[in-house]
Amino acid sequence: MRRDIFQAIADPTRRAIVALIALQAMTPNAIANNFHTTRQAISKHLRILTECELVKQDYKGREIYYSLEIQKMKEIDKWLEQYRKIWENRFNELDKILITIKRKKK
């Protein structure tokens, strides 16, 4: 089953993992140390994030380091941008209405 990036970020633990590795590449054990869950649960989350191509694996000797795949994050941002414009327009409309109401009260 092919997962998409929105399934990946739907889970709060996976979002927290993304936030952690956005700063620096980390091993699964280093990531797991930040959570009150099993190493296996973190491995499952990392597998899903990898399947969605939101994180990439770099092998350094015997260690695997996970880092954020910036291009996939840009995909999320691009999708959100269309809604951001709608929200901004609606907030601007609301501001205009509030200013009109305020003027009428004076």
Residue ranges covered by each domain of the chain: 5-105
Q: Which long-range contacts (CB under 8 A, 24 or more apart) does 60-63 make?
A: 63/27
Task: Count Cβ atoms below 10 Å from residue 10 Cβ, excluding itself.
Answer: 12
Main-chain phi, psi angles of 7, to 5 degrees: -65, -35
87 token code pair: 């929200």
CA proximity to 42, closest of 58, 22, 21: 21
| pTM of the shown model | 0.76
* Domain topology for 5-105: Arc Repressor Mutant, subunit A (1.10.10)
- Please report, in tens digits, the pLDDT of each residue of the chain (106 residues total): 567 888 889 999 999 999 999 999 999 999 999 999 999 999 999 999 999 999 999 999 999 999 999 888 888 888 889 899 899 999 999 999 999 998 888 7
